Chains A and B, each alone.
Chain A
Amino acid sequence: MAVLGRTQFVLDHRYERRNSRHSMNGYDHVFHCHHYLALYTQLAEDAAFMDAKQLLADCAEDVFGEFLARYYREHNVIEPWQRLELAAQYYAAAGMGKLRFVSAGPDSGEVELTHSHVDEGWIKKWGRHDRPVNHFTRGYIAASFASAFGRPMRSIQVHEVESIVTGAERSRFAVVMK
């Protein structure tokens, strides 16, 4: 069992031989590569029949909102700042990048990303893009704020205002409660 950081995220990784599944803290997990998430993101960008960019963010918000809330419950993590720090640690452990909650309050927040699987994977595959594409992380940040401050899902808007994929040194996200 790996323990990470100052406020320590406990990773309980298991491999179940019976069905050949990996789990992390009770949730089935699976390895995938940057091609996979880059292509899912491109698919979301290109889908004309629906707002699949928001769908990608919503899926991340739903899944990680539940995952983080359960973790905080089971480990009795109460303080919002602790919850956000743990959310950043899990994000890094999962290979998604280096997330920092610059400021956070019950109504707004600012988040930055100095390394990003989505952006660096996209650049590695296709080069820079003319607009932000990190819909996954918008959803993850929404889940992090909702679970940190006890808000319902879809109560938080996250805007990617600067983006590594467009050439910025770091990605920045603006968070505001609806």
Chain B
Amino acid sequence: MAIDRKQVIEALSQIEIIGNQEGLIPAFGVFITDLPTRFWNSFADRLVRNAGPDLQSAAEGLLVNAAHECGYHTGYGIITSDEWKAVVQPMIERVPEDILYGAYAVVTAWGWAKADIVELVPNKKMVVQAYDYYEADVVSSGISSRYSAYMLRGISAAFMDLAYGGKYDPAGKAGMRTFKCIQTKGLECGDDYGEFVVTRAA
């Protein structure tokens, strides 16, 4: 594998991202925020728990969808950014597989999750394991009966869209949702790591 994950994490985790004079962070083709993880977890967890049994899956689907769109557009912004070109691009030998491995180094550097690809079948399947992720913080003690890594599910499917879903579509209509992701293990559910399986959408 060509990607030096440790080097990518070391370089990209040190980038200072802070609001400009307008209080905005325009970067990677999007506006960025840097907010407490607890804010995201609080809204997602309370929304799902308040939805009731009949609507919980639908609410979870909407949260995954939010991350899917975020991952698709911001992911594209990342892999076309100057920072990517400087740090990751020189390591890439196989396209798009090395781009995917590089993307999970960025996911780790940015604090979304300490995650890496453990299986990749080009154009078909990807399995990701995450050994720490903020979405597991919805449980402080004990174990939850529901997986809660909606963001990781969404961005993982989005990354496969970017890799194998065709040309990037800024409108998000053509290339997005060609893949789907399910969570099969979770720290919040008592497993040793989170596991995410991405396959072609039906």
- A interface residues with partner B (beta carbon < 8 Å): 2, 11, 13, 15, 17, 19-22, 24, 27-37, 39-40, 43-44, 47, 49-50, 52, 55-56, 59-60, 62-64, 67, 91-99, 114-115, 117, 120-121, 124
Chain B residues with Cβ below 8 Å from A2 are 16, 18
* B56-95 interface code vs A (CB 8 A; 1 in, 0 out): 0001001101110110011001000000000000000000
Instruction: Kindly identify which residue among A15, A19, A39, A43 contacts B47, using a CB–CB cutoff of 8 Å.
Output: A43
Whether B50 pairs with A49 at a CB distance below 8 angstroms is yes
Chain A residues with Cβ below 8 Å from B112 are 30-31
- B interface residues with partner A (beta carbon < 8 Å): 9, 13-14, 16-19, 22-25, 28, 30-40, 42-43, 46-47, 50-52, 55, 59, 62-63, 65-67, 69-70, 73-74, 77, 108-114, 132, 134, 137
A-B contact count (CB 8 A): 174
Whether A95 pairs with B111 at a CB distance below 8 angstroms is no
Instruction: Kindly identify which residue among B50, B55, B108 contacts A55, using a CB–CB cutoff of 8 Å.
Output: B50
* Given A28-B137, A33-B70, 17 further pairs, Cβ under 8 A: A22-B111, A28-B111, A31-B17, A31-B34, A31-B110, A31-B112, A32-B70, A32-B74, A44-B43, A47-B59, A49-B50, A50-B47, A63-B42, A92-B19, A93-B34, A97-B22, A97-B24
Whether B24 pairs with A120 at a CB distance below 8 angstroms is yes
- Shortest Cβ distance from A56 into B: residue: B43
Nearest-neighbour CB distance to chain A for B67, whole angstroms, equals: 7
How far is A2 from B28 in the complex, measured between Cα atoms in Å?
Answer: 22
Whether A35 pairs with B73 at a CB distance below 8 angstroms is yes
Whether A99 pairs with B23 at a CB distance below 8 angstroms is yes
Most chain A beta-carbon neighbours within 10 Å: one of B47, B59, B69: B47
Whether B52 pairs with A24 at a CB distance below 8 angstroms is no
